Amino acid sequence: MVSFLIPFESALGETRVSATPETVKKFLDLGCKVFFEKGAGKAAGFLDDTYMDAGAELVERENDEVKKIVDIVLCVQPPNEKFLSHLKPGSFLVGLLNPYGNKLLAETLKSKNISAIALELLPRISRAQSSDALSSQANIAGYKSVLLAASALDRYFPMLMTAAGTIQPSKIVVLGAGVAGLQAIATAKRLGAVVYVSDIREAVKEQVESLGARFIELPKIDETPSESGGYAKQVSDDFIVAQRKELAKQLSEADVAICTAQVPGKKAPKLIDEKMLDDMRPGSVVIDLAVLSGGNCACSKPGETIVREGVKIIGASNLPCSIPNHASSLYSRNLLSLLQPMFKEGKFLIDNDDELIAGSLISKDGVILKSEIIENGGTRS
């Protein structure tokens, strides 16, 4: 019988859990056994009793004996070295494993003969949509970034006609219109703001306009940005300089900037420099969702709010953790949807011929399969 372990997430500030009572039940229906570390769902609003009622076996957090027997560990963030050292050789780890340049993880997987899927590398094909954890979590980040901005801003978002006169709507600039950016646009529009958007992928303009936002045209220079698998490819420093020029005027008139521009495996493009911050009005707000990969905005720091000449710069590094109940529900369904098809006729099979598995499997029985990414931080294909 295939056994799962749902661990207590030990990373600082992590509030999500990798399985809910709903998905535990589904794994049991597949004939599996599920061990659940006590308290692992509490921060996300899922209590131990509900897992027990669903059929999971509750175990203590420090119970290393269980780690030695389980076949599959479902995690949100990569478990620490100590945790991994107890897993049995041949076991299988699935989660957001932060694979780019993660040599320490590679060494542990190798030495312990562990197979692992990094959800960040799942190919963005239609069949993968229900398993796409980057999307489910980025969607939350985009939504929450706008709520954070609205509560930090010294103005209303919508236009209001009051007895004391008319209030003009706030102007929001969204940088990067991927999953988080599109949700930020939709949320800001719902709150009544006027929204301007910059992105370097061609396909995005139409999506942005269909949400009622205005697209900021790309700089007119020789270089044409390209993309691969739905992702932007890195543009040159000259392009970024020209792009900053186009953005400067929009930002000087903006009340809020939501920064979501990223290139997988690379440093995030620095789209707002200090001079542009100088020109933003005191009281305006910048939310930098790209802060963990270097940030789109000068001066942003992970998890911190910096007030610079009256401009609030919020380094929003873990917004999905601020909505842990829904973040966990969606994440755990992503995992279920990925793993369910791997059970065939009662047997669990890691099928490297499957495009989804091949794209995201970083280690098979300890052999590192994505050395370009995991050892050198190279970009995904």
Catalog residues that contact ligand NAD under the rule CB under 6 A. 124-126, 128-129, 132, 134-135, 138, 175-181, 198-201, 204, 230-232, 235, 243, 260-264, 269, 271
Closest residue to ligand NAD: CB criterion? 178
**What is the rounded distance in angstroms from the CA atom of residue 310 to the CA atom of residue 307?**
6
CB of 56 to ligand NAD, least distance (A): 30
CB of 197 to ligand NAD, least distance (A): 9
Residue 136 · residue 334 · CB < 8 Å: yes
| Residue 268 in tokens | 């995030």
CB of 359 to ligand NAD, least distance (A): 11
Q: How many CB atoms lie within 10 A of CB 39?
A: 14
Is 54 or 261 the residue whose CB approaches ligand NAD more closely? 261
CB of 217 to ligand NAD, least distance (A): 12
**What is the rounded distance in angstroms from the CA atom of residue 171 to the CA atom of residue 116?**
44
**What is the rounded distance in angstroms from the CA atom of residue 316 to the CA atom of residue 356?**
30
Is 134 or 213 the residue whose CB approaches ligand NAD more closely? 134
Residue 205 · residue 215 · CB < 8 Å: yes
| Residue 172 in tokens | 């929001």
HSE, side-chain direction, 13 A CA sphere, residue 326 = 12
Active site residues: 124, 129, 132, 135, 231
Is 179 or 193 the residue whose CB approaches ligand NAD more closely? 179
CB of 369 to ligand NAD, least distance (A): 21
CB of 80 to ligand NAD, least distance (A): 26
Element (H, E) at 190: helix 179-190
Element (H, E) at 5: strand 3-6
Residues whose CB is less than 8 angstroms from the CB of residue 222 and which lie 6 or more positions away in sequence, other chains included: none
361-364 and 367-368 strand pairing: antiparallel
Residue 271 · residue 246 · CB < 8 Å: no
Element (H, E) at 116: strand 115-118
